[in-house]
Amino acid sequence: MAQYYTTMNLKSRFAPSPTGYLHLGNARTALFAWLAARSMNGTFILRLEDTDQQRSPDIYEKALLEDLQWFGIDWDEGPDRGGDHGPYRQMERLALYDAYYAQLRTAGQAYPCYCSADDLAAERAVQRSAGKAPRYGGRCRYLSAEARAAREAAGMRPTLRFHIPDQGTLSVPDLVWGERHYALADLGDFVIRRSDGSPAFFFANAIDDALMGVNLVLRGEDHLTNTPRQILILQALGLPVPDYGHLPLLLGADGQPLSKRHGATSLRDLQHRGYLPAAVFNYLARLGHHYSAMVQLQHWQHEAVQSLDDAAVWNWLAPHLQDKVPTGREMSFVAAARANIVLPADALDWAERCFATPVMAAEAAEAIIGVSPGFWSAAQTTLQAAGGDYRLWTKALQQASGQRGKALFMPLRAALTGLTHGPELAALLPLIGEARALTRLHAAAQRS
């Protein structure tokens, strides 16, 4: 592909319907289309397919632009910045389609259809009962001009259908799936304009790609069966046909397409949970690795956090901590805890363990049970004598108790943090403070 597109300008696009927050599957499609354009010095277009006006309130368009920008995806042409091939909202392009409808009707390649939803449902039921794939049988294909006029005089509002030949095969090359072959008889005459005058997806999507000069279309594999229909439309109109590549859908652990029952399904969900753009970028770009999706996402989130400096980590965490970290201790807290922070929830937990009362985990309680009272007494005495200095304290406690290694440090960690793992105690002790540490050591002595 690289060699081919060096001789021409690669132009890809992302064309979502703004009917909700940006789904992870669509975000992945946008990512690959954007990467293709950027890697080849090409052009990337954002186009909004907003013909479903009832489900496309302005709030979702605004959210879509915000989410793509948060994700790090930019575009060269789009609804917010214009370009040479606008407008970039489908509802603003309706007049452009009329000439192509007329061209198809004049050529006998489109015709009005007056079949009702009940008519079509009954036809599909008969086809299924006969073991056939449901498709439109062409009932209105050869209506006379008089029959059409009578129906319209009766107030019937027709759709417009594309006339597909009854015989023949269409070969469709696909950058992901290879060449696929479709029997034209299986496609059926399909609607290209709804009865309310709005364009059907097959039609507007294909026309817009051609008029905007899009030559690479990357989208989900759920569009595989749309592609032959769109190619037929473009060929009938003498318009250029882009290259198509259909990406595998994102699936949940149950093998079903990703949905809300699987947890976070939109970029906004992950953003609100504190995931960083770089983590989501790597996660979506690398799906298909043998690690589970969640393991991958957690890994790339950790990598993204660790790539930030302390000030950037704090700026990311601050809105989530709600004054849990005392003023002036922010950078010390980040430096101490950052290796153990993947999400803001982790930071909140460590802030509470440092500056409030930690919840004692079961394994920490077990680590305290059985430790001698003398150990806890010595721990408190030596901490006071060391003035809160961790190195002096642990050295003195080792001498006073005769304990070393895990036998020394595990009870201290359990008592001070309520956990048996975490950041270095040497970094945590100054945050916990001598007074709070003494209180926790005393409480541990009561437990053991």
Q: Parse the chain into domains and list their residue ranges.
A: 2-247, 357-448
- Fold category of 357-448 in CATH: Arc Repressor Mutant, subunit A (1.10.10)
Residue type, 319: P
Can you identify the CATH homologous superfamily of domain 2-247? HUPs (3.40.50.620)
Q: For the chain, give the number of residues.
A: 448
pLDDT digit string (tens) for 138-165? 899 999 999 999 999 999 999 999 999 9
Higher local confidence (pLDDT), 297 or 161: 161
What pLDDT, on the 0 to 100 scale, is given for residue 50?
A: 87
132 is in an annotated binding site: no
**Segments of 272-345 assigned E as strands:** none
- What is the tens place of the pLDDT at every residue in 78-114? 999 999 999 999 999 999 999 999 999 999 999 999 9
| Cβ atoms 151, 114 nearer than 8 A | yes
Res. 290: pLDDT tops 50: no
Rounded distance between C-alpha atoms, residue 206 and residue 21, angstroms: 24
Whether the per-residue pLDDT at 258 is higher than 70: the answer is no
H or E, element range at 43: strand 43-46
**Chain centroid to CA 308: how far?**
22
Buried b (16+ CB within 10 A) or exposed e, 223-259: bbebbbbbbbbbebbeeebbbbbbbeebeeeeeeebe
pLDDT of res. 56:
55
